[in-house]
C-alpha cells in the first residue's frame, strides 16, 4: 500500500499559520512511518481511535516545531480481530497509548513489552470495552476485588507502602505503591484511573457550545486551558480564523490561569516543607489573582468565557493589580530562595534526568525544569507574539520550583505585551478555509501542552480525544522518586503537581 500524503496550510489566527498533513498506512509500514517522523523531530502528541462499523480507525498525531507542523497517520484495524504492531520499541509514549487503547477499545498491541492493563478497572467484565460496546452497561460487581498486579521488587528486607487511593489530604484518587528499604525508595509504582468518567464518550453528540462548557470540567484547575483547546480544535475543524484581538484576550486569560495556579503550587511547596508562613503569603496572592480573574471574566476559575470564534472579557484589564501581585510575589520569592532550610529541602531532591524526560515525552513545567525546550506558546503559537522562553537544567524540585517562578515572571510581562492587542479593532471571526472532518489543537496550559482532537459532522461532535500533559508526565514521577527518601515524596509530588482528573477521562 502506498502512502498518499496530503499537505495544506491553515490559519489559526490572522497571521499565524500551520502546515498540516495526513496519510493512511497499513500495519506493516506503520512502524517505519512513525519512526520516520520521530527522526524528523516530530513528537507523538496524541493517539486516538474511532470505532467504525467494520473497523476501528486509529490516528497517530505527530507534531513538529519550527515551523509548526502537524501530521496525522491513520490506520484501520478490523473490528473482529483488532491488532496493531506495538511502537514501544521506538516510543515510550506510544506504548502507553497502546495500553490505553487495548483497555478501552480492545485493540491488542502485538509484541508489547508490558501488556498489562492501564486504564481498565479490575471489576470490568472481561470482554467489555467501554468505548466500543454499543450494548447496555454491564452489571458491575462492586465487591469483586481484583488487586492490581504491581511488579514487586525482589529481595529480603523490602517493604511496601500502600498509599491511596484515599488520601489524608483532599486530593483525587491515586494509589502509590512504594517499594522501599527503610527511608529509601527503591521503586515507586503508581496506579491511577480510579474514576473513569467516560468523558471522551460524553463529548460525542454534543454541539460545539456544549462541548466547550464540558471541556471546562476536564480538570478543574485547567478550566480555561482545556476549554480553549476544545474551542480551538472545533474552530480548526470548522476552518474558522479568529481575529488577533480575540487571540490576545485568550492568551491573556491563559496566562492568568497559569499565574494563579503556579502561585498556588509555590505556596504548596512551601507548605510541604513545613514552611507555613510562605504558604500563607502565597495563598493570599492566589486569592488576589483569582479576584482579578473574577473582575476580568465574572468567574474566579475563568469559566464560561469561550465560544466558537469569540471570547468574553471585561474591557478593563487591571494591569496595576497584576503589577501589585508581581511585586508581592517577588517578596515571597525573596523569602523562599534565601531560606536555607527551604533551599535544603528543594535542592537536589528527586532529579529527573534530561534523557529520561525526553524519552518519556514530558511536557510543560516538568520538562522545562529538566532542560527540554517544549512550549506550545512558542512551538505551536496562536498569537503573533510569544513569551520569553526559559528552561532550567537540573531537574530537581528546586528547578521545578524556579521554573514556576520564572514562568510567572514571564507571564506577567507577556500579559503587559498582549494588553495592547486588546485594543486592535478587527473584523469578527470568519471561516477562512473549508470545514474538514477533524480538528486538532495544541494549547500550552499551565501544566503543559494540552492536545485536543475532535471530529465534527453536521455541527455535532462525533469523536473526541483529550490528552492532558499529565498523561505524559505521570510516568516521570516514579523515575524521579527512585533513590529519593520516602518523606520527600509529598514535596516531590507537589513539585510535579500532575492532574488526576485530566489524566483519568
Asked if residue 348 binds another protein (CB under 8 A), the reply is yes
261-320 residues in contact with another protein (CB under 8 A) are 270, 272-277, 280, 284
365-404 residues in contact with another protein (CB under 8 A) are 396
Bond before 165 cis per omega within 30 degrees = yes
Taking each helix axis from N to C end, the angle separating 244-272 and 223-238, rounded to the nearest 10 degrees, works out to 150
Question: Of 1 and 166, which has the nearer Cβ to another protein?
Answer: 166
- Of 117, 121, 201, 343, the one binding another protein by CB under 8 A: 343
Question: In this structure, are residues 421 and 248 in contact, taking their beta carbons and an 8 Å threshold?
Answer: yes
For 16, phi then psi, to 5°, come to -115, 130
Question: In this structure, are residues 99 and 107 in contact, taking their beta carbons and an 8 Å threshold?
Answer: no
Asked if residue 333 binds another protein (CB under 8 A), the reply is no
Question: In this structure, are residues 285 and 266 in contact, taking their beta carbons and an 8 Å threshold?
Answer: no
Residue 158 C-beta: closest distance to another protein, Å = 6
How far is 250 from 429, CA to CA, in rounded Å?
14
**# residues near another protein by CB under 8 A:** 72
Copy the grid coordinates of residue 440: 486538532
| Per-residue contact flags (x/-) with another protein for residues 452 to 491, judged by CB under 8 A | -----------------------x---x---x-xxxxxxx
Asked if residue 331 binds another protein (CB under 8 A), the reply is no
- Of 5, 110, 209, 341, the one binding another protein by CB under 8 A: 341
How far is 50 from 117, CA to CA, in rounded Å?
20
Question: Of 67 and 162, which has the nearer Cβ to another protein?
Answer: 162
14-33 residues in contact with another protein (CB under 8 A) are none
How far is 132 from 104, CA to CA, in rounded Å?
7
Residue 415 C-beta: closest distance to another protein, Å = 26
Question: In this structure, are residues 371 and 354 in contact, taking their beta carbons and an 8 Å threshold?
Answer: yes
Q: Is there a binding annotation on residue 126?
A: no
Residue 487 C-beta: closest distance to another protein, Å = 4
- Of 26, 159, 330, 426, the one binding another protein by CB under 8 A: 159
Contacts 24+ apart (CB under 8 A), 250-253: 250/306, 250/311, 250/382, 250/383, 251/377, 251/382, 251/383, 251/414, 251/418, 252/313, 252/317, 252/415, 252/418, 252/419, 252/422, 253/224, 253/228, 253/296, 253/297, 253/302, 253/305, 253/311, 253/313
Strands (DSSP E) along 320-360, which ranges? none
Handedness of CA 337, 338, 341, 344 (dihedral sign): positive
Question: In this structure, are residues 467 and 283 in contact, taking their beta carbons and an 8 Å threshold?
Answer: no
- Of 66, 154, 316, 423, the one binding another protein by CB under 8 A: 154
Asked if residue 160 binds another protein (CB under 8 A), the reply is yes
Residue 362 C-beta: closest distance to another protein, Å = 12
Residue 458 C-beta: closest distance to another protein, Å = 43
Residue 468 C-beta: closest distance to another protein, Å = 20
Residues near 29 by beta carbon (within 8 Å), at least 6 away in sequence: 1, 3
Q: Is there a binding annotation on residue 200?
A: yes
Question: Of 25 and 86, which has the nearer Cβ to another protein?
Answer: 86
Asked if residue 167 binds another protein (CB under 8 A), the reply is yes
77-136 residues in contact with another protein (CB under 8 A) are 88, 92, 95, 113-114
Residue 32 C-beta: closest distance to another protein, Å = 20
User: Any idea what DSSP says for residue 485?
Assistant: B
Residue written as cell 488487586? 147
Residue 188 C-beta: closest distance to another protein, Å = 11
Question: Of 306 and 480, which has the nearer Cβ to another protein?
Answer: 480
174-233 residues in contact with another protein (CB under 8 A) are 175, 178-184, 186-187
Residue 388 C-beta: closest distance to another protein, Å = 17
Question: Of 305 and 497, which has the nearer Cβ to another protein?
Answer: 497
Asked if residue 150 binds another protein (CB under 8 A), the reply is no
Residues flagged as binding site for Mg(2+)? 200, 466
Q: Binding site, residues?
A: 200, 466
Amino acid at each position: 500500500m502506498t502512502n498518499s500524503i496530503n499537505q495544506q496550510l491553515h490559519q489559526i489566527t490572522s497571521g499565524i499559520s500551520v502546515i498540516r498533513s495526513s496519510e493512511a498506512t497499513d500495519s506493516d509500514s506503520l512502524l517505519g512511518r512513525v519512526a520516520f517522523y520521530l527522526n524528523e523531530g516530530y513528537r507523538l502528541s496524541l493517539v486516538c481511535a474511532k470505532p467504525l462499523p467494520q473497523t476501528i480507525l486509529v490516528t497517530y498525531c505527530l507534531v513538529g516545531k519550527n515551523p509548526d507542523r502537524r501530521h496525522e497517520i491513520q490506520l484501520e484495524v478490523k473490528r473482529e480481530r483488532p491488532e496493531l504492531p506495538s511502537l514501544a520499541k521506538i516510543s515510550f509514549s506510544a506504548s502507553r497509548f497502546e495500553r490505553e487503547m487495548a483497555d478501552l477499545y480492545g485493540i491488542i498491541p502485538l509484541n508489547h513489552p508490558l501488556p498489562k492493563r492501564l486504564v481498565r478497572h479490575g471489576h470490568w467484565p472481561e470482554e467489555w470495552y467501554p468505548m466500543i460496546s454499543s450494548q447496555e452497561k454491564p452489571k458491575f460487581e462492586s465487591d469483586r476485588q481484583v488487586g492490581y498486579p504491581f511488579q514487586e521488587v525482589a529481595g529480603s528486607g523490602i517493604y511496601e507502602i500502600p498509599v491511596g487511593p484515599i488520601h489524608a489530604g483532599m486530593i483525587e484518587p491515586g494509589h502509590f505503591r512504594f517499594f522501599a528499604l527503610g527511608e529509601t525508595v527503591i521503586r515507586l509504582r503508581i496506579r491511577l484511573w480510579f474514576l473513569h468518567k467516560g468523558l471522551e464518550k460524553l463529548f460525542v453528540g454534543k454541539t460545539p457550545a456544549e462541548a466547550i462548557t464540558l471541556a471546562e470540567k476536564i480538570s478543574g484547575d485547567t478550566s480555561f486551558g482545556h476549554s480553549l483547546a476544545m474551542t480551538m480544535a472545533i474552530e480548526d475543524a470548522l476552518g474558522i480564523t479568529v481575529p488577533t484581538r480575540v487571540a490576545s484576550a485568550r492568551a491573556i486569560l491563559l496566562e492568568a490561569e497559569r499565574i494563579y495556579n503556579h502561585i498556588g503550587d509555590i505556596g504548596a511547596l512551601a507548605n510541604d516543607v513545613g514552611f507555613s508562613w510562605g504558604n500563607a503569603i502565597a495563598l493570599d496572592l492566589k486569592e488576589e489573582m483569582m479576584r482579578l480573574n473574577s473582575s476580568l471574566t465574572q468567574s474566579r476559575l475563568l469559566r464560561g468565557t469561550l465560544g466558537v470564534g469569540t471570547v468574553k472579557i471585561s474591557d478593563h484589564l487591571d494591569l496595576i493589580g497584576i503589577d501589585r501581585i508581581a511585586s508581592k510575589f517577588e517578596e515571597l520569592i525573596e523569602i523562599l530562595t534565601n531560606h536555607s532550610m527551604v533551599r535544603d529541602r528543594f535542592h537536589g531532591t528527586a532529579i529527573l534526568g534530561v534523557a529520561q524526560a525526553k524519552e518519556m515525552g514530558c511536557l510543560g513545567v516538568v520538562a522545562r525544569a529538566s532542560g527540554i525546550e517544549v512550549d506550545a506558546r512558542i512551538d505551536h503559537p496562536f498569537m503573533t507574539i510569544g513569551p520569553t522562553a526559559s528552561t532550567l537544567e537540573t531537574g530537581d524540585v528546586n528547578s521545578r520550583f524556579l521554573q514556576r517562578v520564572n514562568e510567572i515572571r514571564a507571564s506577567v510581562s507577556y500579559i503587559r505585551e498582549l494588553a495592547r492587542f486588546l485594543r486592535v479593532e478587527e473584523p469578527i471571526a470568519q471561516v477562512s478555509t473549508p470545514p474538514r472532518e477533524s480538528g486538532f489543537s495544541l494549547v500550552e496550559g499551565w501544566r503543559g501542552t494540552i492536545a485536543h482532537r475532535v471530529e465534527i459532522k453536521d455541527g455535532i461532535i462525533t469523536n473526541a480525544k483529550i490528552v492532558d500533559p499529565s498523561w505524559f508526565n505521570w510516568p516521570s514521577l516514579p523515575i524521579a522518586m527512585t533513590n529519593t527518601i520516602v518523606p520527600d515524596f509529598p514535596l516531590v509530588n507537589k513539585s510535579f503537581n500532575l492532574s488526576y482528573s485530566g489524566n483519568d477521562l
